Amino acid sequence: MDAIIKMNWENLHSQDSNVRYEAFNALLTATDKHVDWAYEIWDDLLASLQHKNNHQRAIAAQLLCNLSRSDPENRILKDFDALFAVTRDERFVTARHSLQAIWKVALAGKQHQQMVVDRLAGRFRECVEEKNCTLIRYDIIEDLRKLYDAVQDEQIREAALALIATEEDSKYRKKYAGLWRVT
Write the DSSP string, 10-31: HHTT-SSHHHHHHHHHHHHHHT
Rounded to whole angstroms, the Cα distance separating 64 from 42 reads 7
What Å distances lie between residue 94 and 52, 66, 117, 168, CA to CA?
Answer: 12, 16, 21, 27
pLDDT (tens digit per residue) in 69-120:
999 999 999 999 999 999 999 999 999 999 999 999 999 999 999 999 999 9
Which pLDDT tens digit goes with each residue over 5-56? Answer: 999 999 998 889 899 999 999 999 999 999 999 999 999 999 999 999 999 9
pTM of full prediction above 0.75: yes
CATH 1.10.150 fits domain 1-89: no
Confidence of residue 181 (pLDDT cuts 50, 70, 90): confident
> Helical H runs in the chain?
3-11, 17-30, 38-48, 54-67, 75-85, 92-101, 110-126, 133-151, 154-165, 170-178
Domain limits, CATH 1.25.10, in the chain: 1-89
Q: What whole-number distance in Å separates Cα of residue 79 and Cα of residue 63?
A: 13
163-175 mean pLDDT: 94
CA distances from residue 88 to 91, 93, 94, 132, 138 in whole angstroms, order as listed: 8, 10, 8, 11, 15
